[in-house]
Homo-oligomer: A and B are copies of this chain.
Amino acid sequence: MHDSIYAEILTIGDEILFGQITDTNTQWIGTELTSAGIRPLRKTSVGDQAEAILTALGESLQRVDILIITGGLGPTKDDITKHTLCRFFDTELEINEDALALITEFFNKRGREMTELNRQQAALPKTCTYLQNDWGTAPGMWFEQNGKVVVSLPGVPFEMKNLMTHRVLPRLKALFDVPIIKHKIIRTIGIGESFLAETIEAWEDSLPAHIKLAYLPHFGQVRLRLTATGRDEDQLNSELEYEVSRVLPLIDKFVYGFDNDELEDVIGKLLMAENATLSTAESCTGGFVAHRITSVPGASRYYTGSVVAYDNAVKINTLGVPESMVREYGAVSEQVVTAMAEGARKLLHTTYAIATSGIAGPEGGTADKPVGTIWIACATPDRTVTRLLKLSNHRSVNIELTTTYVLDLVRKNIMQTAQN
């Protein structure tokens, strides 16, 4: 990797140093730079003090060619990044008309009044190239000096990501002679990282030196990321295809998708291919299953809705779960989760319906049904399948994992129905 282009990431803001907000930006930027063939060398966070920012800036540019700065661009007093950049590049602020037009439009569209502070967001260092922020009022800035690049982006994650993807990375790839880096991600569910590693060990050891494998575990799933580095894009792509074709037979039944396809995307495609529809009945997941499904644009084509039956009365009155059944077996039981799924399927008129009922915690556990005891079900035109989960004491983790497992349950059942 001696022909690597190196970059550093600088985040600005007391709130990050003091641990008052979670910094998800630098991880994302690190991943994107790496995939673009640019090697992150160091990450630094400093507070909202000019001197600290100036020092960090100077140090970085002595080590690397590219510095990505995020944060410190909001309209208020504690944001001093712009003035500090003026000092560093020995220039001054002036209103950028393009930026001003966009900010004005932003406020007009929302029927909101624009303050002088907002107007000042359009004031940019004279020597920088203006990077349009499609989703916010804080512009991005691109500086070039002695063949080195400094980019300053707002800290709001979706604004920063949009600027990086559409404005920054293309410019960096055009300016620097970066090697071609190709990724292929295989998404698995239902197998632990170490088992997966043992299953594919021989294949992993046989990978050529310019193709690296990374295990990326996340809430019951493990993504396998293949990274190929070289100079010939077509060759890299066919090499990746070949390696995928070699490993797939070993882990077939755990693979649900590739690259950026989340479970909810895969389910959507399967349902549309089958001309089928889906509904949900949620107790312990409290609407998170519906949220995951409806986070996919166009979900209304196959998803009709959900009954979040948090109160047993809702299970009984709206989903038609027999009151005697709840009394006899309890709300957290195979019988009730089955009746919930079948009730939702009938009430919401869908081909498939999934249901969850369990004890998310931290309270509500009993000796025979401890916190983390969760039943999930999938009702299809000809059967209802259930599964018992035994999860943790951690509420949000239980909600996240249960959602993932019930989405996988319906995925398997749609595929099975399609095959028959």
Contacts and interface: CB of A to CB of B under 8 A. Distances in A.
Contact of A158 (B48, B112, B396): B396
B308 A286 contact: no
A52 interface: yes
Nearest to A30: B19
Contact of A308 (B22, B118, B290): B290
A304 B310 contact: yes
Nearest to A79: B215
A289 B286 contact: no
A14 interface: yes
Nearest to A7: B17
A125 interface: no
A300 to B, nearest CB: 6
B225 A15 contact: yes
B19 A110 contact: no
A363 B19 contact: no
Contacts of A40: 17-19, 47
Contacts of A115: 192, 194-195, 198
Interface residues of A, number: 105
A194 B305 contact: no
A228 to B, nearest CB: 13
Interface in A114-169: 115, 117-118, 135, 156, 158
Given A193-B76, A297-B395, A42 B15 contact: no
B15 A214 contact: yes
A193 B43 contact: no
A74 B297 contact: no
Nearest to A286: B294
Nearest to A293: B286
Contacts of A363: 297-298
B43 A44 contact: yes
B217 A74 contact: yes
A89 interface: no
A3 to B, nearest CB: 17
Interface stretch (A311-319, A374-382, A405-413): A311-319
Contact of A310 (B15, B18, B47, B305): B305
A19 to B, nearest CB: 3
Contact of A28 (B19, B112, B193, B314): B19
Contact of A74 (B29, B135, B193): B193
Contact of A314 (B42, B197, B304): B304
Contacts of A213: 77-78
A77 B198 CA distance: 10
A291 B291 contact: yes
Contacts of A308: 280, 287, 290, 294, 305-308
Contacts of A26: 19, 23, 45
Interface string A205-236: 00000001111111000000101000000000
A162 B306 CA distance: 33
19 contacts: A16-B43, A18-B30, A18-B31, A18-B40, A19-B29, A19-B32, A19-B40, A42-B56, A75-B193, A111-B390, A117-B194, A135-B392, A158-B397, A282-B290, A286-B299, A287-B294, A298-B363, A306-B306, A306-B308
Closest 10 pairs between A and B when the two form their complex, measured CB to CB: A286-B294, A287-B290, A19-B30, A19-B31, A287-B287, A117-B194, A306-B308, A304-B311, A43-B45, A305-B314
Interface of A: 14-24, 26-32, 34, 40-48, 52, 56, 59, 74-78, 109-112, 115, 117-118, 135, 156, 158, 192-195, 197-198, 204, 212-218, 225, 227, 280, 282, 286-291, 293-295, 297-300, 303-311, 313-314, 318, 347-349, 361-364, 390-397, 399
